[in-house]
Amino acid sequence: MVYLDDIIVYSASLQEHIVKLKKIFERLRETNLKVTLDKSEFLRKEVLYLGHTISKEGLMPNNDKIKAVLEFPIPRTSTEIKSFLGLVGYYRKFIRDFSKITQPLTSCLKKKNKIDITKPEYIEAFEKCKELLVNAPILQFPDFSKPFVLTTDASNVALGAVLSQGQIGSDKPIAFASRTLNEAETRYSTIERELLAIVWATKYFRPYLYGRKFTIYTDHRPLTWLNSIKEPNTKLTRWKLRLAEFDYDIVFKNGKQNSNADALSRIRINALGNDDISLKVNVDINERNLQGHIDNLTEEITRLARNQHQENPPTPMEVSPASERTLSVESLGSSTITASEIMSTIHSAEDIDTDGICILQEAIDTKPNQVLVFPWNRKEILVKNLSRPKQKILEVHLPVNNIDLIKNFLKEYTKPNIKYFFYFEDGQHRKEFAAVTISLFKKGTVKFYECTKRVIYVDNEEEQRDIIIKYHDGKNSHRGIKETLIHLKEPVSGTTWNKLLRV
């Protein structure tokens, strides 16, 4: 895939990848184009491209862009609304019914309407956009050898559509689309709005649907009799003619049975897909013999693939009773990841049963075996035992970019047939732990999960009172007791909240 001056090469196997690379390099040489190797990366499990993260799992928004959305202040002017909608709208294909959700924001752009940031629906729409983008589903890559499914819907203010593949109810989304209705379209009858949604969606997804048979699912039963309606009005007749170029079946599906959105929130994310694996290739681009460079590159990649290093899984040990322990970097040797370890990680991802570290959109605080990982600047690892009754909790402080420390920790503090739940303060640690767990536990005897949320436990009444006062005097204050309790329990846990709130 080529876009402007970027080239992405993707393959199903390493052998196929090497062949493709060689052909591309030969083609570049024929056209006298140069490659900047300092900016090139090879054998990546995922890439950041045009604001998206692309991996074998599918397509996801770039976390850096999501962070910018989360930090965006509530829009107070039409210019700020346009800026926010432009930022979020770039990822609208990840958000179902985007236009319907953002309608309270877009309606403020009309000349006669005033912007009132205190309106509940305005605030709700703003926060909903952030929430849906953070929890955006992974979009699957289209398989043109399989039939497509188009699910459409219409409301009083917007149209929505989902392009997917698979059995209905468990179909995986490829893209979402939506748009608002103009003033004339809001006066359409129900059947006209529902048919308009189909006409618009087929036009929007035409590159996927044209020339292929597909199924349209709608929650409006009369549309299933579209071709047998007697004496349709001119509008319906005109739209029927537009749809005549497609080969499709219309199937009624009750809105309550539409589990597509629910299925999206349950898609499991393979942490291995986020594992960044790159190789530095030492090639002098100033040499005239570019063909020699091509051969050297492909030979080096092939050599790395053949020199796989098989390690025996370690024998896990019991958790040390010591409250704090430190392990020195010097005593463990170099922290460099060898090429054979990289290739072993790549191949073991295809062979083993485990998925490395699976991501759970949950708080870690209720889990039985917790490992809290934090970065620090020292060249050693600090392990604190913070266990409570029925909960084993380890707080781990270690530097980034040190695989050997992670290996040593996992060998000593984990044992078979137990689930461990991790919380990572630093994203780099998660990537390193994912790579190490795959290389160490090839039989999948130990299961690792990452919890993305952490609740701070505060049981001291004075500290809780200070938190309540600070929360009450802060932004969007003066909530009721129930609402305040709900918002407080999200980031902070305590046992006496109810009593203090009523006092």
SS (H, E, C) 191-206: HHHHHHHHHHHHHHCH
Nearest to 272 by CA among 42, 52, 434: 434
More confident call, 455 vs 124: 124
- Give residue 209's pLDDT: 93
Query: How far is residue 211 from each of residues 142, 144, 245, 298, 352, measured CA to CA in Å?
Result: 15, 11, 8, 40, 40
Question: pLDDT band at residue 342, thresholds of 50, 70 and 90?
Answer: very low
Third-level CATH fold of 61-134: Alpha-Beta Plaits (3.30.70)
- Give residue 476's pLDDT: 53
Question: pLDDT band at residue 67, thresholds of 50, 70 and 90?
Answer: confident
- Give residue 213's pLDDT: 92
DSSP annotation of 139 reads: B
Q: For the purposes of burial, counting CB atoms within 10 Å of the CB of 430, is it exposed (0-12), middle (13-18) or buried (19 or more)?
A: buried
Query: How far is residue 86 from each of residues 41, 68, 188, measured CA to CA in Å?
Result: 31, 12, 29
- Give residue 494's pLDDT: 52
Element spanning 47, H or E: strand 46-49
Alpha-carbon gap, residue 358 to 270, rounded angstroms? 6
**Mean pLDDT rounded to a whole number for the chain:** 72
Close Cβ partners of 12 (under 8 Å, ≥ 6 residues apart): none
Segment 325-349 shows an average pLDDT of 37
More confident call, 257 vs 355: 257
Nearest to 163 by CA among 129, 214, 199: 214
Least confident of 72-86, 124-138, 208-222, 265-279: 265-279
- Give residue 418's pLDDT: 80
Q: Which two tokens stand for residue 109?
A: 């752009």
Instruction: Provide the CA 221 distance to its chain's centre, in angstroms.
Output: 35
- Give residue 225's pLDDT: 67
Look at the pTM and tell me if it is higher than 0.75.
no
* Residue matched to tokens 């409301």: 155
Segment 350-362 shows an average pLDDT of 56
Question: pLDDT band at residue 338, thresholds of 50, 70 and 90?
Answer: very low
pLDDT digits (tens, 9 = 90+) for 378-427: 878 888 888 887 788 889 888 888 788 888 888 888 877 788 888 888 87
Q: Do the strands 380-385 and 357-363 form a parallel or antiparallel pair, or are they unpaired?
A: unpaired
* Residue matched to tokens 């048979």: 213
DSSP annotation of 107 reads: G
Confidence check: pLDDT of 216 > 70: yes
Alpha-carbon gap, residue 369 to 272, rounded angstroms? 22
- Give residue 343's pLDDT: 37
Alpha-carbon gap, residue 434 to 267, rounded angstroms? 19
Phi, psi of 447, deg, nearest 5: -105, 135
The segment(s) of the chain belonging to CATH 3.30.420.10 are: 148-264
Could you tell me if 74 and 126 are in contact, meaning their C-beta atoms sit under 8 angstroms apart?
Answer: yes
Question: pLDDT band at residue 303, thresholds of 50, 70 and 90?
Answer: low
To the question of domain 148-264 being in CATH 3.30.70.20, the answer is: no
Confidence check: pLDDT of 57 > 90: no
- CB atoms near residue 298 (< 10 Å): 16
Alpha helices in 205-288 (DSSP H): 206-209, 234-243, 260-264
What one-letter code names the amino acid at 254?
N
Alpha-carbon gap, residue 98 to 129, rounded angstroms? 8
More confident call, 319 vs 302: 302
The segment(s) of the chain belonging to CATH 3.30.70 are: 61-134
Confidence check: pLDDT of 249 > 50: yes
- Give residue 316's pLDDT: 36
- Give residue 353's pLDDT: 36
DSSP state string for 383-435: EEE--BTTBEEEEEEE-SS-HHHHHHHHHHH--TT-EEEEEESSHHHHHHHHH
Confidence check: pLDDT of 25 > 70: yes
pLDDT digits (tens, 9 = 90+) for 83-107: 888 878 777 777 777 788 888 888 8
Query: How far is residue 78 from each of residues 70, 85, 123, 323, measured CA to CA in Å?
Result: 19, 10, 15, 56
- Give residue 201's pLDDT: 92
Q: Which of 123-132, 168-177, 441-450 has the highest mean pLDDT?
A: 123-132
- Give residue 263's pLDDT: 29
Element spanning 305, H or E: helix 290-306
Percent of the chain with pLDDT strictly greater than 70: 66
More confident call, 294 vs 7: 7
**Overall size of the chain counted in residues:** 503
Could you tell me if 406 and 379 are in contact, meaning their C-beta atoms sit under 8 angstroms apart?
Answer: no
- Give residue 206's pLDDT: 92
Confidence check: pLDDT of 281 > 50: no
Question: pLDDT band at residue 69, thresholds of 50, 70 and 90?
Answer: confident
Nearest to 125 by CA among 108, 104, 139: 104
Confidence check: pLDDT of 41 > 60: yes
- Give residue 309's pLDDT: 38
Close Cβ partners of 450 (under 8 Å, ≥ 6 residues apart): 271, 357, 358, 359, 360, 421, 422, 423, 424, 430
